[in-house]
Amino acid sequence: MSDEFEKEVAKAEKELEQGLMTVENEQANEGLDDEYLGDLKMQAQEYQQKLQDAAAKAKDYAGEKLHYAGEKFKELQDKDPKELIEDAKEYARKNPGQTILISAAVGLVIGWLIKRK
């Protein structure tokens, strides 16, 4: 009985050592995983900060352009339609190339909008 007992103890010790080695390996891998996940987390935080900065810049830019467009719209509201037509004619005389490009772009957009419907 003592021989069988010693064999069982040896077997249990061997299994315990293998179990401990597995746990140690897992802990070592977890350390690597934690390090890798930590790096990923840091990169994600950096990208999040970059996106927040870009969104803030875009918001500021859009706000500036909206303010500018609002001012121009108020100027147009204050003008008489005949005055607007005269201004458009004067612009076309001074900048014929840009006038043609603007007309072509407006035509393409209107054509695209009509075709979609």
CB burial class (10 A; 0-12, 13-18, 19+) of residue 92? middle
Q: 39 lies in a domain? A: no
Q: 45 lies in a domain? A: no
Q: How many domains does the chain have?
A: 1
Q: 19 lies in a domain? A: no
Give 64-99 pLDDT, tens digit per residue: 988 888 898 888 888 888 988 898 899 999 999 999
Rounded Cα gap, residues 21 and 113, in angstroms:
69
Q: 102 lies in a domain? A: yes
Give 35-72 pLDDT, tens digit per residue: 767 788 888 888 888 888 888 888 888 889 888 888 98
Q: 23 lies in a domain? A: no
On whether the pTM is more than 0.85, the answer is no
Rounded Cα gap, residues 114 and 48, in angstroms:
40
Rounded Cα gap, residues 15 and 62, in angstroms:
67
Q: 93 lies in a domain? A: yes
Q: 117 lies in a domain? A: yes
Half-sphere exposure of 41 (CA within 13 A, CB side): 6
Q: 106 lies in a domain? A: yes
Instruction: Show the domain range for 103.
Output: 80-117
